[in-house]
Amino acid sequence: MDLLIELFSEEIPARMQPKAREDLKSMVTQGLVDAGLTYASAGAFSTPRRLTLSVEGLSAESRPVREERKGPPVEASPPAIEGFLRTFGISHPTASAHVQSLLETPGAVELRGVRFEDRLVKDRRILFAIIDRPGRKAPEIIAEVLEATIRTFPWPKSMRWGSGSLRWVRPLHSILCLLSDETGAHVVPLTVDGITSTNTTEGHRFLSKGRFPVTGFDDYAVKLKRAHVVLDQAEREAAILQGAQNLAFAAGLELVEDKGLLTEIAGLVEWPVPLMGRIAEDFLHLPPEVLQTSMKEHQKFFSVRNPRTGRIEAFVTVANTETVDHGATILKGNLKVLGARLSDARFFWDKDLRVAKAGMGEWLEGLRPVTFHNKLGSQADRIARIEALAREIAPLVGADPEVAARAARLAKADLRSAMVGEFPELQGKMGRYYALEAGESPEVANAARDHYSPLGPSDAVPTEPVSVAVALADKLDTLTGFWAIDEKPTGSKDPFALRRAALGVIRLVLGNEVHWSLREITVDSLHVAIEQHFEKRRASLTRQLINDIDEARRVAKEYEAAQAGELTSSASLWKIWEKIDAEGSVSKEAAEEMAQAYLAREMQVAFQTVFANGESLLAFFHDRLKVFLKDQGIRHDVIDACLALPGNDDLTLLVKRAEALAAFLKSEDGPNLLQGFKRANTILTQAEQKDGVEYSFGADIKFAETDEERALFAALDAAEKAITPAMRAEDFPAAMAAMATLRAPIDAFFTATQINSDNQVLRRNRLNLLHRIRAICSGVADLTRIEG
């Protein structure tokens, strides 16, 4: 049998349709299956006014189901028997006695539709309950499942309407529920909150009139199309894309594709009719991003580009109807609205250009009072930190420190521009235009645009050195800042997107092969933040001391008390104070000195947290790196093996090492050498534990007995000669290749030679030889951490 369901309502928000299709499909099919029906396939569809589900190959009735449940032993205590009976809703006082007595002779008893019998299980008589559920007809099940689906549908937001109590995304008007087989189509009867199921639907709101009956899915889809409704979202998307491309092509232009917009528009129309219009000449000088964003956000227009000029010169709007004038009135109206919108955009652009041409000082000033985070200061404070950090990072990425610092200072200026105020998604993009207008160099301007990147997995990593420096500084400042105030991500909570920031740092470092000590740079960043914090406190305390001599007196007393009994001398502060007291006023120098001394200890404490925070942040980076490398197919134990070696805060080096190791383990020699290494390591470790010595005296070839032993000596010498320079040159593949040559000699050695010889001299020498294997292999990675 085939089932067709349509829930017809007032306009469903476009953004909710994809999930609603999935939910309808999964809730109904799951419900049918849970009730014992089977089906071959199911497909869900949506338009702005309907949610539709087609289920094919549905069984006509559910199979009878027998459920068996094992209970307590027959001779169990009455409370145990009663407890078991209660799970079937049987609680009659005599029931348990009834069961027990009947079971004294083998047999069965039936109570309230449940059959109880005893069976021998491993020589014990155990009580079993058997419930037989007869098969049920499909329509009965469908009606139940559909009603439950409608009543519990997980819309992100739902509402009531009229006098009813049913909730749906918008008023629900009709339910089509039709079951068809060879004998014909039958309405599955159900009524939900006064809406009774039928076999009818309606077409397009304006291009079709009245309701019409359907006989099944194919008939439904065909009749809908005749009634100007394209049922399938994918078909509407394809029609829109094709229509829009054709319009653009015919005018010698090209459509700027936008998948998200396409999906949204296809959810707003039942009968898509693309129409193209030209943007008025007065607006063509606006940056393409501005035209595109304004048209998309406000009007849901596609942008159309002139391939010769690269400019956005036209748009495509998608109407939901065909008109007698072929869309002329619709296009005229849309052009009028666009004119008003772009006039606004042009007003913002002109206003911003005046500020940009004057050097953007007004915006930088405007960022002072804007709070970034109440514990991390204003946007201006943040920019100052990023500037300091960018200056330090610059030489490590091949950028000029002063240029990087300037880029960092200006990179966020556009946050105060009118255009970004209106369209926040243009941040950075406008910054680039405005920096160029301000006469900044292209590399400074590009950094304004690129320093937010990479934002997501598909976002490219900046490569211009100045952009890289600012992008790294921006993300590191965010990470160290929130680390310092203990706002670390926990579980699914990451309100400041710190995981994304850490991944951004990782991708920037790897993408540009940056070699640095992440530990050092993190500590530097933490220092910058602490210094800035205390500088601000020092300044405000100084002001306070100058203005309020009583406060100065209090500070001096408190300081003296705190210092009492401690080694540190409070003499200097006290001397300053005595002078102040004598003069009856506080000079600027004295106040500064006093503030400095007062905050010194607190600062010391703050700096002591730097190391711990740096380590914990580094561990966070390593975690993110593991996730990142896992996605690239590198196993976590391989990463652990590399992380265990010194220099693990140079991520570029670390990843090179991990990649080489992963490749090595996939080679033929890899797993065998690993076995050899592990064997050597196990024997050696056991011997070392037993003997309480470390066998690292150096093995001597003159005690070698077998050819295999001598061959291993030679192989180790040769490998060492190759590995040492390769490691120095960070040529890990070469080092691993050299290590791979050890596989055969090690295998041969273990086959031919017994380590624990009775001859203690030979034994010690062999253990020392094993130590060489361990030392050579461990220089590349900590192979003990590799699984298998």
The separation between CA 728 and the C-alpha centre of its own chain, rounded to angstroms, equals 37
Whether the Cβ atoms of residue 133 and residue 67 lie closer than 8 Å to each other:
yes
Whose Cβ is closer to other proteins: residue 371's or residue 756's?
371
What is the contact mask toward other proteins in residues 57 to 86, using x (rule: CB under 8 A)? ------------------------------
Cα→Cα distances 457→235, 425, 628, 687, Å: 29, 18, 10, 50
Q: Total number of residues binding other proteins (CB under 8 A)?
A: 40
> By C-beta, is 239 or 476 nearer to other proteins?
239
**Is residue 320 close enough to count as binding other proteins by CB under 8 A?**
yes
Q: Is 110 exposed, middle or buried (0-12, 13-18, 19+ CB in 10 A)?
A: exposed
Closest CA to 292 of 325, 256, 264, 317: 256
The 8-class DSSP code of residue 703 comes to G
Q: Which of residues 328-347 bind other proteins (CB under 8 A)?
A: 329-334, 336-338, 340
The Cα angle at residue 203 between residues 197 and 205, in degrees rounded to 5:
115
When asked if residue 10 is in the footprint of other proteins (CB under 8 A), the reply is yes
In this complex, which beta carbon is closest to other proteins, that of residue 301 or of residue 695?
A: 301
Burial label, 467 (beta-carbon count in 10 A; 0-12, 13-18, 19+): buried
Q: Does 351 engage in binding with other proteins (CB under 8 A)?
A: no
Query: Nearest approach, Cβ of 280 to other proteins (angstroms)?
Result: 13
Of 35, 319, 549, 683, the one binding other proteins (CB under 8 A) is 319
- Per DSSP bridges, beta strands 184-187 and 172-181 are antiparallel
Number of residues in the chain: 788
Q: What number of H helices and E strands is found in the chain?
A: 28, 19
Q: Which is nearer to other proteins, 327 or 428 (CB)?
A: 327
Dihedrals phi, psi of 757, to nearest 5 degrees? -70, 155
Q: Tell me how far, at minimum, the Cβ of 230 lies from other proteins, in Å.
A: 16
The number of CA neighbours under 13 Å toward the Cβ of 349 is 21
Sign of CA dihedral 100, 106, 110, 114: positive
Nearer to other proteins (CB atom), residue 124 or residue 209: 209
Residues numbered 16-55 forming contacts with other proteins, rule: CB under 8 A:
48
Q: Which CB, 93 or 162, lies closer to other proteins?
A: 162
282 near other proteins (CB under 8 A): no
Q: Among residue numbers 168 through 197, which ones bind other proteins (CB under 8 A)?
A: 169-171, 173
Min dist CB 249 to other proteins, Å, is 23
| Binding track, positions 234-273, relative to other proteins; x by CB under 8 A | ----------------------------------xx----
Q: Minimum distance from CB of 48 to other proteins (Å)?
A: 7
C-beta of 206 vs 697, nearer to other proteins: 206
Nearest distance, CB of residue 298 and other proteins, angstroms:
9
Cβ neighbours for 664, distance < 8 A, ≥ 6 positions apart: 670, 733, 736, 739, 740
Q: How far is the CB of 207 from other proteins (least distance, A)?
A: 9
Convert residues 152-171 into a mask of x (bound to other proteins by CB under 8 A) and - (unbound): -----xxxxxxx-----xxx
Q: What string marks each residue from 203 to 222 as x (binds other proteins by CB under 8 A) or -?
A: --xx----------------
Residue given tokens 């077409």 in the structure block: 203
Closest CB to other proteins among 151 and 332? Answer: 332
CA distances from 317 to 260, 282, 732 (A): 15, 20, 56
Answer for the pair 562, 634: CB distance below 8 angstroms, yes or no: no
User: Quick one: 320 or 480, whose CB is closer to other proteins?
Assistant: 320
Q: Which is nearer to other proteins, 275 or 476 (CB)?
A: 275
Nearest residue (CB) to other proteins, 161 versus 611: 161
Compute the distance between CA of residue 318 and CA of residue 300 in angstroms, rounded to an integer.
Answer: 8
Least separation, in Å, of the C-beta of 197 and other proteins?
Answer: 17
- Letter string b/e over residues 613-651, b meaning 16 or more CB atoms within 10 A of that residue's CB: bbeebbebbbebbbebbeeeebbeebbbbbbeeeebbbb
Interface residues with other proteins (CB under 8 A)?
10-11, 13-15, 48, 157-163, 169-171, 173, 205-206, 268-269, 299, 317, 319-321, 323-325, 327, 329-334, 336-338, 340
